[in-house]
Amino acid sequence: MRSSLCPQRGRARLALTGVLTGLLLTLSTPVAHPESTPPVPRRGSAYMGMGVLAHDGRAVGADTAPPTRANQTEGVDVASHQGSVSWSTLWGDATKWAYTKATEGMSYTNPYFTQQYDGPYKAGMIRGAYHFATPDASGGSAQADYFLSHGGGWTKDGKTLPGVLDIEWNPYGDTCYGKSKSGMVAWVRDFLNRYKSRTGRDAVIYTATSWWTQCTGNYSGFGKTNPLWIARFAATAGTLPAGWSVYSMWQYTSSGKTVGDHDRFNGNQDRLNVMATG
């Protein structure tokens, strides 16, 4: 004769089995975690165009160089992460000018600066230096002085281009470095005025239209005095910031041969020579 407790025992075993099964499924199912924030790079590691891919992206076909034009001259820009550069190879590929990162903020100097600045000069190129601005670190005039003290000067030797203010996305924090639009314009003006007063040349402004619009309110007041170096990884330079009807340089890719960052000077070799002599 079967016990009247058997059905209850069966139901208990089934219940226990269900609990164990649920527990095993819970333990074996991966737990979803929020995506981690990309690490903040170390101070000093920024370089020209660092934020272009992250913020503006790369247009379809941007890996292919725009058609060569007789009225444009090929160039490159370099920084410490590219190490010692083969300038003879670049010269053989018809690269005629180069800019080297000299400084950043108030404490960084490029350890490869001598090789990257004197190298193109010796190869036959026209060369220049740029400063990666960090407006949250100090005033504009102070950073211009720091730049000039560490390779950012200009001489009328026909082989040296005026210095460049690289003003773009902040890789270390707030996009606009914690400044209002008017505050950013004032900072840029202070840098440019100090550079002009000490060298007699108007510095070039390197930027991207989207950043300039967001962080300066698309200020148009520098277009009549300061040459524009526009950043856009695409087949065309696109819409320029207010105040400029033409660009002087255009950074069009970060994936070129020998050195990734390639540029076009908006003029032939004779016009490039004029820019160097002032």
DSSP-based three-state secondary structure for 230? strand
The active-site residue out of 168, 202, 261, 263 is 168
Tell which residue, 208, 241, 264, has the closest CA to residue 77: 264
77 is catalytic: yes
Burial class (CB in 10 A: 0-12, 13-18, 19+), 131: buried
List 56, 104, 145, 166, catalytic entry:
166
Is position 166 annotated as part of the catalytic site?
Answer: yes
What pairing do the DSSP bridges indicate for beta strands 108-109 and 97-104? antiparallel
Q: Which SS3 state, helix, strand or coil, does residue 204 take? A: strand
Q: To which residue do tokens 């460049």 refer?
A: 164
CA distances from 272 to 98, 141, 269, 277 (A): 11, 27, 5, 9
Which active-site residues does the annotation give? 77, 166, 168
